[in-house]
Structure 1
């Protein structure tokens, strides 16, 4: 995908859909549903088959267990750690703007608007880096 296509898709998605896109495209996870006595849960499974995060469940759990990287900095940090080289800067100005560069790719630099958050900047840059890498290899 091109950077423009990624940005357009991101703008169309809600928070939950963005988080699912990050889980599948960047983290390489797949969604799983597990029934249980309390109603079960929907989670994310890694390539080895381990459930590594929770999307939602029918019981009360610690919110830190949820994978919501576009909304939660601790989950965004999990995305951040997938890349060997990442730079982040808060850019001074009238709006809150973050610059994020992943793996030295200039195309991964983001200028976020005042409505956007730091976790969103990390996630969007990760998508740009990951999906433009894939398209460049094809």
Structure 2
């Protein structure tokens, strides 16, 4: 996908669908039937499982709306080049800019994303770093 295609798709998704996309692309979660699971072999921590209606279910982190979950994306980005995050503007007109560097292509290039929240900027930058086919 190109950067533009990724951004266009991102804009059509609700936050939970964005979270799932980050889980699949960045953390290699997998889909089985109509459910999403962490990568095979990853130990499930109690924070990822909830018991409801007589069964267990996996809790998908809120990567694109919760800064603590988004920070795990930043940590993961160190494996492919890292991220630089900035907060700009005034208290009532703030925006976040993320530069992501990737070594998944023959050369490293910055990915510059600007969004109103840090978690959304981090998630979108990570998706572009992992999926973009642009050279």
SS in 1 for 2:41: coil
How many Å separate the matches in 1 of 2:17 and 2:99?
23
Alignment deviations for residues 80-112 of structure 1 (CA, whole Å, 9 cap, x no partner): 111122101112367322111112632x21122
Coordinate RMSD, CA, aligned: 2.8
How many Å separate the matches in 2 of 1:57 and 1:96?
38
Task: Select the structure that is richer in strand.
Answer: 2
How many Å separate the matches in 2 of 1:73 and 1:32?
28
Kept in 2, the 8 Å contact 1:43–1:55? The answer is no
Change (3 A) 1:74 1:87: same
Instruction: Answer yes or no: is 1:96 the counterpart of 2:91.
Output: no
Of structures 1 and 2, the one with the larger relative CO (CA 8 A, separation 6+) is 2
Change (3 A) 1:83 1:95: same
How many Å separate the matches in 2 of 1:32 and 1:74?
27
Give the aligned length.
Answer: 118
Question: TM-score, normalising length from structure 2?
Answer: 0.72
- Deviation (angstroms), 1:7: 0.7
**TM alignment of 1:113-132, pairs within 5 A:** 116-132=116-132
**TM alignment of 1:1-138, pairs within 5 A:** 1-31=1-31, 44-51=37-44, 54=48, 58=52, 66-84=60-78, 85-92=82-89, 95-103=93-101, 105-106=109-110, 108-112=111-115, 116-132=116-132, 135=133
Kept in 2, the 8 Å contact 1:69–1:79? The answer is yes
Name stretches of at least 5 consecutive residues in structure 1 with no aligned partner: 34-41, 60-64
Kept in 2, the 8 Å contact 1:32–1:45? The answer is no
